Amino acid sequence: MARIMSKTSVRVLKLLAVLQSKADWSGGGLAERLEVDVRTLRRDMNRLRELGYEIESSSGVGGGYRLGAGSVLPPLRLDDEEAVTLSIALASLNASQPHLHEVALRVLVKLSQVLPARLRRRVSDVQAVTLSMGQGQHVKPTVLAELAAGCRDHERVAFGYADGKGATGQRDVEPLKLVHTGRTWYLVAWDPSRADWRTFRVDRIDTKQVVRRGPRFVPRRPPDDLEAYVKKSLAAAPYAYQVSVRLQVPLDEARRRVPSWLGSLEAEGAKHTRLTTGGPTLDAMAALLVHAGVAFDDVQPASLAAAIHEVGERLVRGAARAKGARR
């Protein structure tokens, strides 16, 4: 009997893992994936419900199943790779997001208590040799979770939003992807009111208004080169200053040397690359060009050239004073 119960438990855990892998499953598809008959599948679904999982079912040919949000959080089944990745991510969040420190630490402690010894060693090895110095953008994890769920399940999301100029309003969009540049979270979504793709900074979403997941939609075809679209969109965002320069290196070399978050790169002939970006001040734009570490010309607008000249003079004066102090 214990042997039969063991096999049943393993099968139910496998069913849970499959349900968590995507939003909707047909009854026939699940039965085939698990290599069981429909009657066994129904019994295992009932066992999951008894454990506290909300299982939504639909009638029709073969029926359908979906793992819903229950009133309590039941146990999650993670494979080795998922458990290690989650632990490392929580440790990074604990170090780089001070406002989430307590929550991240609580979850990390709970997860560490149940990790097998072999996985605990893998996690501790990574954490022991990692130093985090980042100060990330302040976003609520609940907002990220809702946006991610909308992207995964093709459900519209609505939220209050403040653009770069401070104008506020409501957005009701079809989410496609969450993008993290290393500094900032963005949502790429289709905006029906503008009949176009848009990018939204997640930290500008009004957290007092809960992100609402609305009706499902048929996914649209994304831009052919989504990464290039996002970079260009971020470079053209409504910053106070829009600038561009011609880098004196070909596109392939520019991509290797210039950080992806800095701006949009486009080939300008065989030997040059056009960098387009934006920022709050011209001094900030000059600093970004110093950060790029690439020779450039054809600066636009002309006011940027003056700012670069002034910043350059400050650097030269500072270097001269430092040199004099060493003598």
User: Model confidence over 20-79: pLDDT tens digits?
Assistant: 776 678 888 888 888 898 889 889 888 888 877 888 887 665 568 888 765 455 666 677
Average of per-residue pLDDT values in the chain: 78
Residue 248 in contact with residue 295, Cβ under 8 Å? yes
Q: Which single residue is written with the structure tokens 């009932």?
A: 46
Residue environment code for 158-192, b if the CB has 16+ CB neighbours within 10 A, otherwise e: bbbbeeeeeeeeebebbbbbbbeeeeebbbbbbee
* % of the chain surpassing 70 pLDDT: 75
Q: How many CB atoms lie within 10 A of CB 239?
A: 18
The predicted structure's pLDDT at residue 182: 61
Cα separation, 112 vs 84, whole angstroms: 10
Q: Show the CA angle centred on residue 294, arms to residues 288 and 300, nearest 5°.
A: 60
Cα separation, 259 vs 206, whole angstroms: 29
For the ranges 114-118, 185-189, 288-292, 318-322, the lowest mean pLDDT is seen at 114-118
For residue 294, give both structure tokens: 């690439």
* Backbone angles phi and psi of 191, in degrees to 5: -105, 105
Pick 134 or 48 by higher pLDDT: 48
For residue 185, give both structure tokens: 């979270």
Residues 6+ apart with CB under 8 A from 230: 179, 186, 188, 199
The predicted structure's pLDDT at residue 225: 77
For the ranges 71-75, 184-188, 321-325, the lowest mean pLDDT is seen at 71-75
pLDDT band at 171 (very low <50, low <70, confident <90, very high): very high
For the ranges 36-45, 61-70, 128-137, 273-282, the lowest mean pLDDT is seen at 128-137
Pick 180 or 247 by higher pLDDT: 247
pLDDT band at 284 (very low <50, low <70, confident <90, very high): confident
Give the Å distances, CA to CA, from 308 to 52, 145, 293. Answer: 62, 41, 14
For the ranges 85-89, 246-250, 285-289, 311-315, the lowest mean pLDDT is seen at 85-89
